[in-house]
Amino acid sequence: MKIALVAHDKKKEDIVNFAIAYESLFQGHEMYATGTTGKRIMEATSLKVHRFQSGPLGGDQQIGALIAENELDLLIFLRDPLMAQPHEPDIIALLRLCDVHNIPVATNMATAEMLLRGTQRGDLDWRLKKDVSTQH
Listed as own residue / partner, the contacts of 118-125 with beta carbons closer than 8 Å and 24 or more positions apart are 119/1, 119/3, 119/25, 119/29, 119/74, 120/25, 124/1, 124/73, 124/74
State pLDDT tens for residues 32-58.
999 999 999 999 999 999 999 988 888
User: Annotated catalytic, 73?
Assistant: no
Secondary structure class of 3 (helix, strand, coil): strand
Residue ranges of domains in the chain, CATH in brackets: 2-124 (3.40.50.1380)
Share of the chain above pLDDT 70, in %: 92
Average pLDDT, the chain: 90
pLDDT given at position 133: 43
In tens digits, what is the pLDDT along the chain, a chain of 136 residues? 999 999 999 999 999 999 999 999 999 899 999 999 999 999 999 999 999 998 888 888 999 999 999 999 999 999 887 776 766 777 889 999 999 999 999 999 999 999 999 999 999 998 887 654 444 4
pLDDT given at position 135: 46
Residues in a beta bridge with 5: 33, 76
Longest distance between any two alpha carbons in the chain, whole Å:
39
| Start-to-end Cα distance in the chain | 21
Catalytic member of 60, 80, 90, 123: 60
